[in-house]
């Protein structure tokens, strides 16, 4: 039983770390603000949610302490991180940051 629990915790931890590394790689490699924001706000959020889930499982199943704050943190990050990404991207568009040179369409340009 302990082996199953430890395997589950390690699996969630390494999955979260992998997604965080993917987010960092995307933020380094991608060409403009919008694609970088896409990588950072999706992948980093899911990675942190996996790591917090593994933290909750560790304290609940091994230490025997039910931590409602970590569950609340997961819910809060799940709600607010996409909103933050949307706000940054909108502010970037309205303050005049250009799209990548090879982008093919810009639906927001004719909306004004």
Count Cβ atoms below 10 Å from residue 40 Cβ, excluding itself. Answer: 19
Least Å from the CB of residue 50 to another protein: 9
In this complex, which beta carbon is closest to another protein, that of residue 94 or of residue 112? Answer: 94
We find the least distance from the C-beta atom of residue 13 to another protein, in angstroms, to be 5
Could you tell me if 48 and 20 are in contact, meaning their C-beta atoms sit under 8 angstroms apart?
yes
Between CA 97 and CA 61 the distance in angstroms is 48
38-49-10-22 Cα dihedral, nearest 10 degrees: 10
What residue ranges bind another protein (CB under 8 A)?
A: 6, 9-10, 13-14, 16-17, 20-21, 23-25, 27-28, 33, 36-37, 40-41, 44-45, 47-48, 51-52, 54-55, 58-59, 63, 65, 67, 69-70, 72-73, 76-77, 80-81, 83-85, 87-92, 94-95, 97
């Amino acid at each position: 039983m302990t082996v199953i629990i430890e395997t589950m915790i390690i699996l969630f931890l390494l999955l979260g770390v992998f997604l965080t590394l993917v987010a960092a790689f995307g933020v380094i490699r991608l060409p403009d603000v919008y694609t970088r924001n896409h990588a950072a706000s999706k992948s980093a959020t899911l990675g942190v949610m996996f790591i917090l889930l593994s933290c909750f499982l560790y304290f609940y199943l091994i230490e025997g302490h039910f931590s409602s704050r970590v569950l609340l943190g997961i819910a809060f990050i799940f709600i607010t991180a996409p909103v933050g990404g949307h706000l940054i991207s909108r502010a970037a568009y309205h303050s005049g940051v250009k799209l990548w040179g090879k982008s093919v369409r810009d639906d927001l340009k004719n909306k004004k």
